[in-house]
Chain A
Amino acid sequence: MMEMKWMAQNHKALFELLAQSNDLTKVYDRDGLYSVLSNNNVYPKLTLGYDLDVMEEQPFNNYFQAVEKQDVSPYIIFQIDENISSKESLLKKNGFRAIEEWTSMSIALDKLTKETSGKLQIVKVEDEVRLQNWLKVVEQTMFNNSSIETGIFEQLMLDDNINLWLGYFDNQPVCTTLSYVHSNIVGLYMISTLNDFRSKGFGREITLKALYDASSKGVMQGVLQATRSGINMYRKIGFQEHGKFQIYWKVGKQYI
């Protein structure tokens, strides 16, 4: 599926950008696997397995060894395709298990309809105060309150192709997203809403804001990876499903 490839390419390009950050200390780029890591940081804690299409054991063995040396993230994502069961059995043999499934979704931006509730004030994050507010929401909703290295996002903010969006309700920061334009496609990441403010349409509104902004700059396509709980909201916006990704984790306290 072309749309899944767009998603994978956008995600990888974002990680390559992250790799340029001073706060990221380790890059693993081997056998079609790609990961960027910083010490004691919960983001970006994922190894991208999108480009691994050869089913041989050696790339996996190299990866497993690197996991033990803490040179690569113990979280790894693959497309669900005809090779997934072979990959899964190799991973299982080495203590990994599937922990999450994301659905690849895309939308043609010329099909967007303009709508806002007016209840949410959405701003672009361009200063330290807003960045701290953005990070607080993301940490609380996506990372069990573990702190994220600010430096990575300070650098991302400076990139013309990246926008961090923050939604305020009654002057309180409640929802976020990150948009990244690459090859005329906008990828949306970290779409999150604080628990107490869910089911109010805020996730939909901040997603649309990021899409309108990209569309106004001539971007034609939007892509994202939806968690199970988010799929319906994205369908209502007009996103279509194109396949699935599965995330595996090497189970163990030392690998959190």
Chain B
Amino acid sequence: MTITTLLPQLNEIFKRVFENSAIEITPLTSAKEIHNWDSMNHILLISEIEKHFKVEFELDDLIEMNNVGDILAALQSKIK
């Protein structure tokens, strides 16, 4: 699946998890730009992404994800 297909779906998950309909993510978006993207909300976000795309990330993936680009890369490697 391409980034252009994944990004809009990911954006909807971000809006839902962070309860902010104005969020517009790009691959460069990091925790600094999203209010409340802290370590625990990061886990909630990843769990929602897993449910939506029916994938499962390892702990290592979780720790290495520092921005939306990292999430997209991990997602692409799982979906293929």
- Interface residues of A, Cβ cutoff 8 Å to B: 97-101, 144, 228, 246, 249, 251-253, 256
Contact = CB atoms under 8 A, between A and B. Distances in A.
Given A100-B63, A246-B59, A256-B40, 12 more contacts: A97-B43, A97-B47, A98-B59, A99-B39, A99-B59, A101-B59, A101-B63, A228-B63, A249-B43, A251-B44, A251-B47, A252-B44
Nearest to B64: A228
Contacts of A97: 43, 47
Interface string B22-48: 000000000000000011100110010
Contacts of B62: 98-99
Contacts of A253: 44
Interface residues of B, number: 9
The secondary-structure label for the interface of chain B is helix
22 contacts: A97-B43, A97-B47, A98-B59, A98-B62, A99-B39, A99-B43, A99-B62, A100-B59, A100-B63, A101-B59, A101-B63, A144-B38, A144-B39, A144-B40, A228-B63, A246-B59, A249-B40, A251-B44, A251-B47, A252-B44, A253-B44, A256-B40
Contacts of A98: 59, 62
Contacts of A256: 40
B41 to A, nearest CB: 8
A101 B60 CA distance: 9
B32 to A, nearest CB: 10
Contacts of B43: 97, 99, 249, 251
Nearest to A101: B59
Contacts of B59: 98-101, 246
Nearest to B48: A251
Contacts of A252: 44
Contacts of A249: 40, 43
- 7 closest Cβ pairs, A-B complex: A144-B38, A98-B59, A256-B40, A251-B47, A99-B43, A101-B59, A251-B43
